[in-house]
Structure 1
Amino acid sequence: MEIRSIDHVELFVEDAEDTAGQLCDSFGFTLAGRGGPGTGLRDCESVLLRQNDITLLLTTATGTDHRAAEYVKQHGDGVGLIGIAVDDAHAAFAEAVERGAVPMTPPEEFGPAGGRVTFASVTGFGDVEHRFVSREKPEGPFAPIIEETGTREPGGILQRVDHFALCVPAGKLDETVRHYQEAFGLTQTFEERIVVGSQAMDSKVVQSTSEMVTFTIIEPDTTREPGQIDAFVESHGGAGVQHVAFLTDDIANAVRTSTDRGVRFLTTPASYYEMLPDRLGPIGVPVDELRALNILADRDPSGVMLQIFTQSTHPRRTLFYELIDRRGAHTFGSNNIQALYEAVERQQAEEAARLA
């Protein structure tokens, strides 16, 4: 199968309208449409958001028969479905099932000839499914089951989904990687063992040939002290998407704009920036600016990468977001992971102290 890109991300949430409002206020997403029983959706209501090449569908179950009901009960709000753009959803579905993916929703076509949209879903990992999407008009409406309320407008601080970070229970990393290789034809491009104090985790990256669909998969090392991956799996109730990374072409502006809108980002120790020039050399952005905005920096043979992570506002402290600015780099800031996890530990310690 020829995987093109991320078509959309569907979050199963308790209150789609409220979540949509938060994402619009925080990151500048635009309300693009709504769906419910009147548009052909069954047992649910959905809100469609867009920004450049990012499409988010927020779905709330209105009946117990919809998958979002059990998902939210088990995991709380989170990414329940990742839509993958392919040339032919019928063929991709058949191929994935033949390779071992479990079918969830057989191919279903929407719309008239010339503007037809086809959806077909299979299992991904944990309770996250993957929906193959093929569109006769790539820039056309999402689907007739969503009544769109506006036109697509360029602009905004975020460009597209860069990657997803997936947390899996101990012992499931290789199995999950193998599933993506065998069922979806993704290729493993990177692996790393990360040690943070008395904690440790193992990660591998799988990616489509187009390089537009990327999953960083992480499992905890249970021979070490329990850490954040253990905590995620426990709080989430199993494997799930820990964070979604959004690509931006000006991270400093994106951070300032988001901060002004109320987004809270993780902070970084001052010592991180003191060591940055010796570790990376010139990176094209003043270190003082990075320090002021808590932006992390890394370099690989292809260039520089800048990134920052939001604090989680999820009641279970699971799902959060990343902003990433790639200036030639193709990797994921592995040298920043220790700084990230130290920052998360500080956030959790501060919250515990406030509650004490």
Structure 2
Amino acid sequence: MAAHARRLCHIAFHVPAGQPLAQDLQRLFGFQPLAVREAGGWRQLALRSGDAIFLVNEGAGPGEPLYGLDPRHAVPSATNLCFDVDDASAAARALATRGCRVPVPPVNVRDAQGTATYAVVSSPAGNLSLTLLERAGYHGPFLPGFGPVSSKADSGWVSHVDHLTLACMPGSSPKLRRWFQDCLGFHHLPLNPGEDPELGLEVVVQSGHGGLRLTALQNPSGSVVPTLVLAESLPGATNRQDQVEQFLVRHRGPGLQHVGLYTPNIMEASEGMAVAGGRLLTPPKAYYQQPGKEGQILAAGFKPSLLARQGILLDGDKGKFLLQVFTKSLFAEDTFFLELIQRQGATGFGQDNIRALWQSMQEEAARGQKA
């Protein structure tokens, strides 16, 4: 039996003391403090934007941080996905019977606002662990053990997490797909009609120079869990690393490469982040000069010059469109980044946009090598 996730509670990060992730999320990307806990050598700060919650675990205590696991990873990293489940103890037992490692068996936590139970399970996706959380009996602002933090009003830029993308080793997507299917109840979401789940969607970014394989997974209807995307590199005839290969090297293994944050107004969100100092990835100039691109943008109700100014990508047809913009890495190691996404009926991820992202990251890496 799978441990069915009902909702994504939060995404946890591990950073050393003094690393500016929490400050950057507030100052540059509109997140606001929600709750904090300081104990055992850890400072744990939960930040919210809409329904998207990031938990920044800062420090390195002798024990484990509450609701997670210290992976002792070599670089700052997104390390944990916390999912609401109906029964954390039963879910942990079910996964243990499937051979999953449960480094943190069920733990009960209580404060004046109620109780919660959680367990932490290791995943086959590098340093990423999964927390199974049962909190129906809790009525506080976040989780037991955390104190509330007063903050200003939410910026309103982001409403929820749209998707989570894992950078995977070449050839590992089928194994990871089966693990998330068998253990957490995910199932294959075709990005193309008739797509083979073993092959996923192959996006050739340049003839003879490799590309990306994307496999999308979703939870059963009725749950509020973001789409999970597995990304791996296709073999190519170039010595230059693509975005997934770069992540694997700099992150020192597979892991959570980026989080797609849904925004109802990508123009307002990207402009607000840019004004605040957030660094957005610039797509190649040729992207907006592609044949038919101007008409496509106009058909979606936007001005090409405004999208180009903000670096916003647009893909789609037949009245269904997708808009995306990507930040540069939130870490000095040039690994994890954020994506803003606005959907106008489109459900996929835009093959043309994937190629543009690949090319812009290649150009960004080349600029860094020249600096």
- The TM-score normalised by the length of structure 2 is 0.86
Q: For residue 248 of structure 1, what is the aligned residue in structure 2?
A: 263
Structure 2: 5+ residue stretches without partners: 191-199
2:308 maps to which of 274, 278, 291: 291
Give the secondary-structure state (helix, strand or coil) at the position aligned to 2:269. Answer: helix
Distance 1:316 1:17 in 2: 12
Matches within 5 A, 1:176-191: 176-190=176-190, 191=200
Report the CA distance between 1:97 and its aligned residue.
Answer: 2.7
Distance 2:77 2:310 in 1: 27
Instruction: Answer 1 or 2: which has greater helix percent.
Output: 1
2:365 is the alignment partner of 1:348: yes
Give CA deviations for 1:314-354 in whole Å, capped at 9, x if unaligned: 22211111001122221122321000111111111112112
Matches within 5 A, 1:127-206: 127-136=127-136, 140-150=140-150, 155-190=155-190, 191-197=200-206, 198-206=209-217
Query: How big is the alpha-carbon RMSD for the aligned residues of Structure 1 and Structure 2?
Result: 2.4
Give the secondary-structure state (helix, strand or coil) at the position aligned to 1:131. Answer: strand
Structure 1: 5+ residue stretches without partners: none
Give CA deviations for 1:253-287 in whole Å, capped at 9, x if unaligned: 00000000001111123332233145577112222
Q: For residue 83 of structure 1, what is the aligned residue in structure 2?
A: 82
Distance 1:112 1:302 in 2: 50
Report the CA distance between 1:236 and its aligned residue.
Answer: 0.8
Give the secondary-structure state (helix, strand or coil) at the position aligned to 2:103. Answer: strand
Distance 1:145 1:113 in 2: 9
Q: For residue 233 of structure 1, what is the aligned residue in structure 2?
A: 248
Letter in 1 for 2:229: T
Q: Is the 8 A contact 1:115 1:140 kept in 2?
A: yes
Letter in 2 for 1:70: R
Q: For residue 279 of structure 2, what is the aligned residue in structure 1?
A: 264
Q: How many pairs were matched up?
A: 347
2:8 is the alignment partner of 1:30: no
2:216 is the alignment partner of 1:218: no
Q: Is the 8 A contact 1:16 1:46 kept in 2?
A: no
Letter in 2 for 1:206: L
- Greater shift, 58-67 or 342-351, is seen at 58-67
- Greater shift, 95-104 or 306-315, is seen at 95-104
Q: For residue 62 of structure 1, what is the aligned residue in structure 2?
A: 60
Distance 1:128 1:165 in 2: 12
Q: Is the 8 A contact 1:84 1:130 kept in 2?
A: yes
Matches within 5 A, 1:93-132: 93-111=92-110, 115-124=114-123, 125-132=125-132
Give CA deviations for 1:216-254 in whole Å, capped at 9, x if unaligned: 111123454342222211111110111111111100000
Distance 1:151 1:176 in 2: 39
Distance 1:159 1:16 in 2: 29
- In 2 relative to 1, CA 221–62 (structure 1 residues): closer, same or farther, beyond 3 Å? same
Report the CA distance between 1:174 and its aligned residue.
Answer: 1.2
Letter in 1 for 2:204: V
Letter in 2 for 1:193: E
Q: Is the 8 A contact 1:167 1:239 kept in 2?
A: yes
Q: For residue 342 of structure 2, what is the aligned residue in structure 1?
A: 325
- In 2 relative to 1, CA 176–144 (structure 1 residues): closer, same or farther, beyond 3 Å? same
Distance 1:325 1:18 in 2: 27
- In 2 relative to 1, CA 328–219 (structure 1 residues): closer, same or farther, beyond 3 Å? same
Q: Is the 8 A contact 2:297 2:304 kept in 1?
A: no
2:59 is the alignment partner of 1:46: no
Q: For residue 7 of structure 2, what is the aligned residue in structure 1?
A: 5
- In 2 relative to 1, CA 150–280 (structure 1 residues): closer, same or farther, beyond 3 Å? closer
Give the secondary-structure state (helix, strand or coil) at the position aligned to 1:3. Answer: coil
Letter in 2 for 1:249: P
2:91 is the alignment partner of 1:92: yes
Distance 1:224 1:94 in 2: 46
- In 2 relative to 1, CA 311–114 (structure 1 residues): closer, same or farther, beyond 3 Å? closer
- Greater shift, 60-69 or 343-352, is seen at 60-69
Q: Is the 8 A contact 2:138 2:144 kept in 1?
A: no
Q: Is the 8 A contact 2:31 2:154 kept in 1?
A: no
